[in-house]
Structures are given as C-alpha cells and as structure tokens.
Amino acid sequence: MQLIFATHNINKLKDVRSLIPDPIDLLSLDEVHFKKDIEETETTIEGNALLKAKTIYEKTGINCFADDSY
C-alpha cells in the first residue's frame, strides 16, 4: 500500500518512515513529482493540513496525510 506524506522535508520523512510498518510504502511529495504550491486559505492548522491532503489526493489518487505548523 502506498501513502503520501505531504512534505518535501527529507528529515521529517525519515522520522515518520521509522514509525510506519513495512507494508506501507511512504512517499514524499518529491517522489510523486508534486511541485504545486498549495495556498493555505484555512484559518486553522488542522484546516490547512486537511486542505493539503485533499488537494494531493485529488491530483494523485493516493491516500495522503499532511501536517502544518506556523
């Protein structure tokens, strides 16, 4: 199973990969060639993370999760 972590940050990716079980192939945005900048239009951290995950899923068809911080 493939899962996208909405990040270009290789260190974040390594940290999360160490927590994910082997049957899951965790991919970065670079690995799925997603370069588009997603405008953060929501008013909360959670809202912006959900916006990113939905946008990436719509473009790739691969389940995705995102984090967001200020």
pLDDT in tens, 30-68: 999 999 999 999 999 999 999 999 999 999 999 999 987
Contact criterion met (CB below 8 Å) for 8 and 27: no
Q: Which of 15, 22, 67, 68 is catalytic?
A: 68
3-state secondary structure of 8: coil
Does some domain include residue 53? yes
Phi, psi of 62 (to 5 degrees): -110, 135
Is residue 70 one of the residues assigned to a domain?
Answer: no
**Total number of domains constituting the chain:** 1
Domain membership of residue 38 as a residue range? 2-65
- Reported pTM: 0.87
pLDDT at 69 over 80: no
3-state DSSP call for residue 42? coil
In the block, residue with structure tokens 């940290």: 15
- Annotated catalytic residue 68: yes
